[in-house]
Amino acid sequence: MKLKKGFVLRDVCGEKVIMGEGIGALDFGRLLCLNETAAWLWEKAESLGEFTIEALAEALCNEYEVDLERAKADVSAIVGEWQKVKVVE
């Protein structure tokens, strides 16, 4: 999967948010607030281009002290939220 074009991570008043930019994001109409880990995962997914839950979970394990099973569960939950609001394809 990959992040949809037209969605960017911005720092707004000290909060990390995903917002739509351009024609492709016209019907988004909201800001999606992310915690520190979710923002880090967004940036990692952005740098990878195409990504999998497993690839993000492994990257999370390399960055933070977390076991792989917990990382997979957390990444799945976060990416699931992104899928619900249609910022990944």
pLDDT of residue 28: 62
Under DSSP, is residue 48 helix (H, G, I), strand (E, B) or coil? helix
Under DSSP, is residue 31 helix (H, G, I), strand (E, B) or coil? strand
Verdict on whether the full-model pTM lies above 0.95: no
Q: Where are the beta strands (DSSP E) in the chain?
A: 7-12, 15-20, 31-34
Residue 48 to residue 26: CA distance in whole angstroms = 25
Question: Does the pLDDT of residue 17 top 80, yes or no?
Answer: yes
pLDDT band at 29 (very low <50, low <70, confident <90, very high): low
Residue 47 to residue 89: CA distance in whole angstroms = 16
Residue 13 to residue 59: CA distance in whole angstroms = 28
